[in-house]
Chain A
Amino acid sequence: MIKTDASARPVVEMTGITVEIDGTTVLHDVGLRLFAGEIHALMGGNGAGKSSLVKALTGAYRIDAGEVRIAGEPVSLAGPAEAEGAGVAAAFQDVDLCGNLSIAENVMIGHEERRWYGISWGATRRRAEAVLDELGLGDLDPRLAVHELPPAMQQLVAIARAMVTHPKVLVLDEPTSSLDADEVATLFRALRRLREHGVAILFVSHFLEQVYAISDRITVLRDGRGQGEYPTRELDRVVLISKMIGKDLAELRRIGSERRAHRADPTGAPVYRAVGVGRRGEFEATDFELHRGEVVGLGGLRGSGRSEFGQLLAGVARRDSGTIEIDGRTVALPNPAAALRHRIAFASEDRRDGGIIEELSVRDNIVLALQAMRGWARPISRAERDGLVDRFMESLAIVAPGPEAPARRLSGGNQQKVLLARWLATRPHVLVLDEPTRGVDIGAKVEIQARIAKMARDGVAVVFISSELDEVVRLSDRIAILKDRRKIGEVSNGPGLSVDTIIEMIAADDDDDA
């Protein structure tokens, strides 16, 4: 499968790449080599610099130091047009197609066949057909509108568009993030075809098993620095994960041994029980239970379906299979409003988009969910509202110019606390927290963690989602381990459990579903 050897010259050779954005260095002295006819995976955690490196390669970011050679020639990639001219094409994470245009138009946009009289749509469509055929999509009617296609086909159309210029290098940023297993297989067939034609493919993905299924070599990034380049077959999964999260195995074990004994085994009947809850393409049907006063962590890497699972549990995303029981009674949970009535609250990881309402005051943001629970006709009295807001602003130490200030003016950590206050005000029995400590400073992080522990002591059942595994291990009584959008197991927390136990479980479960 690997046609490259040490003597072959790489198609792309990036050395010493340093990129600064607004004064912060997002890439320090990073190198990347791509060979013709290989699929090269770029791995790294959140904020590791994967996207920055892709943008440096496709000309979207200016390189502050370092050199890019394509086919041995030093090139300057001042913009996407130069990158395209140098033979680098890309298809990005968010499929940026025009849904109302046809497949042919999307594929050929910017490269229409021109004649003396203008665009020849016939010739344009024939060339689109040829490009689609190269990807094994010869049976696709290029006249169909793109929005009629399933997501995987749209992704392939995006790739076809990138292939129009016959690039030497194809960059795919998270191409599989919205695809299910069958669709991934379709995509991979197309990628293998391109590899046979000698294209160098850079594959950026969070999905561990997909990377192992398709890639020939792996470059690992962490915190904007290169962590080495490895042949995929020689890189153990545990080693890869420890390189991605930046802790060597010995250190991971040390953190684990510091853990104190976990608090309580669940007793009595569960307050919350999900049976076979799942959604096609998002999360495999799963059983899940929660007891009073319990913190259950969702352990998994990015893209393992943590948020999706949390949303399904809380009724924020609609499940297409399974039943949910609360205190033994089956409930429907068609929307967040119904979930709140059953005292299930979900705090979104997306503070901007799914949480804070920026133009509204801190006070309104805090009372919003409680008010929604009561309905518009029963407004919370001024005295009750002010008492509530004052109490939460004090107990969570929310730093704001005042309760009247628009929430937009607060720092990220304080916005996060405002959201926590919003959900606590509803007195939830079950609280799903998706990345409640993301992007907040260490002080706020500790306060939020302490608050979560206190909630559990008060009897709330908490589902805790975090990309920081040590945080999950520290807080949780029990950890559900997720991988590639399904739950692969559950472990009770205890002295023997550490971050690397979880990593080993994730790495060990290597049945290939890609």
Chain B
Amino acid sequence: MSTGARTSWLRELVRKPFFWGLVAIVALLVLNVLKDPNYLAISYDPETGRLVGNVVDILRASAPILMIAVGMSLVIATGGIDLSVGSVMAVSGAVAMVLMKDAGDSGSVLVALGAIGLALLISAVLGAVNGVLVAYVGLQPFISTLIMMLAGRGIAKVITEGQNTSASNEPFRWIANGFLIGLPVVFLLAIAIAIVVGLVVRRSALGLMIEAIGINPKASRMAGIKPNGLLLTVYILSGVLAGVAGIMSVGTVMTVDVSRTGYQMELDAILAVVIGGTSLSGGKFSIGGAVVGGLLIATLDKTIVFLGISSSATPAFKAIVIVVLCLLQSQRVRSWFVQRRKPPRASAAPSAVPSEKPQQKQEVTA
């Protein structure tokens, strides 16, 4: 009985959509520990009040990925995709940097808030353009956001006049590099935003409707759901979250590099969502899963650096880890495992049946 209970508990955990993501994070950390037993060590610096360690670095690096992964999971749940998030990050970063550079005052909270506000506003507008193209014009999400992906980099270049732009503003820098209760502000902020989005989506009926139109748009329409407003909202949200990611990303070095900021981050976001167990065909989504996926991507990036894998081999290593994960998640591969497990069970069954039957009867009568 106890073994049965344990296996069912295990099976329950294995069934969690982001289970293999968690396993992969642990596996990567173990790999790092094997190379350096002190990898997981975290020390406290009493002077600055900061926790210091590799894991803290991973958390800090994960913040922008978490933001775009959360936005992406909602877009993918509607059956769409947002390829423009990396470019929107660059635009957002460019807007913030140029504004702060022109304002000059390096200590002003007001300037920082103004830069953030304008960056997020522009990101929202870009997201809205995606949303209008998808929902009202009826273009395929892939095409609409591909256009924005290309246009976004151009817009960022226009804003910065093609230059890498630096600025100095302490409050802005603090967002990306500061610490609060020993943890990086940027990570706390990312988790807080993910929780707020998760709560809003799940406490309102937004999540239900997003899933409904992602699974069966026709039936949803007949049930009175108006998909256009929902799609627009979701793409705007994805744009704003990409804007936040851009602010986090440029804040670390206080420089926007229009050709590198957010470069190929859309792919990381999509991978994070898939690892989190949201199907690319739309429908059921998991914000928690996207967070796990984002953390895994960050861990993977840091591990690649830590293990000293040459930069030319980096994509291959990343690809291997992700392919293995996707295989573990795929229904077909799982069913192979189930089929393989079955034959021995079947051969063992005849001997087990006589002894089991009386037990079952006892249970029923008791």
- A residues bordering B, Cβ < 8 Å? 316, 335-337, 339-341, 346, 348, 353-360, 364, 368-369, 371-380, 422, 426
Q: A335-B226, A359-B283 are in contact. Are A368 and B204 (CB under 8 A)?
A: no
| A377 and B204 form a contact (CB under 8 A) | yes
Cross-chain pairs A/B with CB under 8 angstroms, 18 sampled: A336-B222, A336-B224, A353-B218, A354-B219, A355-B219, A356-B219, A358-B216, A359-B211, A359-B283, A360-B208, A369-B223, A371-B208, A372-B209, A372-B225, A372-B226, A376-B205, A376-B206, A379-B203
**Is B334 in contact with chain A by the CB < 8 A criterion?**
no
Query: Across the interface, do B205 and A357 meet the contact criterion of CB distance under 8 Å?
Result: no
**What is the distance, in angstroms, from B179's C-beta to the closest C-beta of chain A?**
36
- Give the interface centre of A337, A374, A377 by most chain B CB atoms within 10 Å: A337
For residue A373, which residue of chain B has the nearest CB?
A: B224
For B224, list chain A residues within 8 Å (CB).
Answer: 336-337, 339-341, 369, 372-373, 426
Residues B230 and A376 in contact, CB atoms below 8 Å apart = yes
Determine the chain A residues whose CB is within 8 A of the CB of B219 once the complex forms. Answer: 348, 353-357
The 8 A CB mask of B190-219 against A (1 = contact, 0 = none) is 000000000000011110110110011011
Among residues of A, the one whose C-beta sits closest to the C-beta of B226 is: A337
The CA-CA distance from A299 to B215 in the complex, in Å, is 34
A348 contacts across to B, CB distance below 8 A: 219, 222
B221 CB-CB contact with A under 8 Å = yes
Q: Is the CB of A337 within 8 A of B215?
A: no
Q: Is the CB–CB distance between B216 and A368 below 8 Å?
A: no
A357–B222 touching, CB < 8 Å? no
Q: A354-B218, A358-B216 are in contact. Are A372 and B211 (CB under 8 A)?
A: no
Determine whether the beta carbon of B218 is less than 8 Å from that of A368. no
Q: Give every chain B residue within 8 A of A339 (Cβ-Cβ).
A: 224
Is B153's beta carbon under 8 Å from chain A? Answer: no
Report if B60 contacts A (CB, 8 A).
Answer: no
Q: Does B284 contact A (CB under 8 A)?
A: yes
Determine whether B220 belongs to the interface, using a CB cutoff of 8 Å to chain A.
yes
Q: A336 touches which one: B203, B204, B223 (CB < 8 A)?
A: B223
**Nearest residue in B to A371 (C-beta to C-beta)?**
B205
- Report how far A306 CA is from B216 CA in the complex, Å: 24
Residues of A within 8 Å of B203, CB to CB, are: 379
B221 touches A335 (CB 8 A): yes
Interfacial chain B residues near A377, Cβ < 8 Å? 204-205
Chain B residues 209-249 with CB under 8 Å of chain A are 209, 211-212, 215-216, 218-226, 230
Partner of A359, one of B222, B225, B226, B284: B284
- Known A357-B216, A359-B283, A372-B226; 8 more pairs at CB < 8 Å: A336-B221, A337-B225, A357-B211, A357-B215, A359-B211, A368-B212, A372-B224, A377-B205
A346 touches B222 (CB 8 A): yes
**Which B residues lie within 8 Å of A341 (CB)?**
224
Q: Contact check, A368 vs B230: say whether CB atoms are below 8 A apart.
A: no
Q: Which 8 A-B pairs have the closest CB atoms?
A: A372-B224, A340-B224, A369-B223, A337-B224, A376-B205, A372-B225, A379-B205, A376-B206
Pairwise interchain contact A379-B225, C-beta atoms closer than 8 A: no
Q: How large is the interface on B (under 10, 10 to 19, 20 to 34, 35 or more residues)?
A: 20 to 34
Contact (Cβ within 8 A) A422 B223: yes
Query: Of B205, B206, B215, B226, which one neighbours A360 at CB under 8 angstroms?
Result: B215
Complexed CA–CA distance, A426 and B224 (Å): 10
Q: Which residues of B contact A371 (CB under 8 A)?
A: 205, 208-209
Asked if B212 contacts A380 (CB within 8 A), the reply is no
Query: Using Cβ atoms and an 8 Å threshold, which residues of chain B touch A376?
Result: 204-206, 209, 230
Give the residues in chain A near B222, CB-CB below 8 Å. Answer: 316, 336, 346, 348, 354-355
Which residues of the other chain, B, contact A364 by a CB distance below 8 angstroms?
A: 208, 212
**Highest count of chain A CB atoms <10 Å: which of B204, B219, B220, B284:** B219
Residues in A with CB closer than 8 Å to B209 are 371-372, 376
Chain B: minimal CB distance from A314 (Å): 9
Closest to A348 in B: B222
- Shortest C-beta distance, A246 to chain B (Å), equals 33
- Give Cα distance in the complex from A341 to B224, angstroms: 9
Question: For A369, what are the chain B residues with a Cβ–Cβ distance below 8 Å?
Answer: 223-224
Contacts of A378 in B (CB 8 A): 205
Contact with A along B168-182 (1 / 0, CB 8 A): 000000000000000
Contact B215–A358 (Cβ < 8 Å): yes
Complex: how many Å from CA A27 to CA B205? Answer: 48
Contacts of B218 in A (CB 8 A): 353-354
- Please indicate the chain B residues that have their CB under 8 angstroms from the CB of A374 in the complex: 205
A335 contacts which chain B residues (CB < 8 A)? 221, 226
- Of all chain B residues, the one with the shortest Cβ separation from A379 is B205
- Across the interface, name the chain A residue whose C-beta is closest to B220: A357
- Tell me the smallest distance from the CB of B203 to a CB of chain A, in Å: 7
CB–CB B212/A357 < 8 A: yes
Chain A nearest CB: distance from B232 CB in Å? 12
A359 proximity list for chain B (CB < 8 A): 211, 215, 283-284
Q: Which residues of A contact B215 (CB under 8 A)?
A: 357-360
**What is the distance, in angstroms, from A420's C-beta to the closest C-beta of chain B?**
13
Residue of B with least CB distance to A406: B284
The distance in angstroms between the C-alpha atoms of A378 and B206, with both chains bound, is 10
- A residues in contact with B221, CB < 8 Å: 335-337
A40 to B216, CA, bound (A): 40
Q: How far is the CA of A374 from the CA of B203 in the complex (A)?
A: 14
Least CB distance, B123 to chain A, in whole angstroms: 22
Distance between B223 CB and nearest chain A CB, rounded to angstroms: 4
In the complex, how many angstroms separate the beta carbon of B196 from the nearest chain A beta carbon?
15
- A341 to B226 CA separation, bound complex (whole angstroms): 12
Output the nearest chain A residue to B229 by Cβ-Cβ distance. A376
Expressed in whole angstroms, the Cα–Cα distance for A371 and B213 within the complex equals: 14
For A340, the chain B residues whose CB sits under 8 A away are 224
Which residue from chain B places its CB closest to the CB of A374 in the assembled complex? B205
**A422 / chain B contacts, CB cutoff of 8 Å:** 223
CA–CA, A380 and B205, complex, Å: 8
Closest beta carbon of chain B to A301's beta carbon, Å: 25
Q: Which B-chain residue is minimally distant from A369 (CB atoms)?
A: B223
Q: Chain B nearest CB: distance from A130 CB in Å?
A: 38
Which of A339, A355, A378, A426 has the most chain B CB atoms closer than 10 A to its own CB?
A355
For B233, the closest partner residue in chain A by CB is A376
List chain B residues, Cβ under 8 A from A357. 211-212, 215-216, 219-220
How long is the Cα–Cα vector from A335 to B283 in the complex, in angstroms? 23
Chain A: CB-nearest residue to B206? A376
CA distance A358 to B211 in the complex (A): 11
Min CB distance A347 to B, Å, is 9
What residue in chain A is nearest B203 (Cβ atoms)?
Answer: A379
Alpha-carbon distance A355/B212, docked complex (angstroms): 11
How far is it, in angstroms, between the C-alpha of A371 and the C-alpha of B203 when the chains are bound? 13
Q: Which of B220, B222, B225 has the most A CB atoms < 10 Å from its CB?
A: B222
Alpha-carbon distance between A316 and B219 when the two chains are bound, in angstroms:
11
Cα of A336 to Cα of B217 in the assembled complex, Å: 13
Which among A357, A358, A368, A380 has the highest number of chain B CB atoms within 10 Å?
A: A357
**Nearest-CB distance from A378 to chain B (Å)?**
8
When C-beta atoms are compared, the residue in chain A nearest to B216 turns out to be: A357
User: Separation in Å of the B161 CB from the closest CB of chain A?
Assistant: 42
**Chain A's nearest CB lies how many Å from the CB of B87?**
29
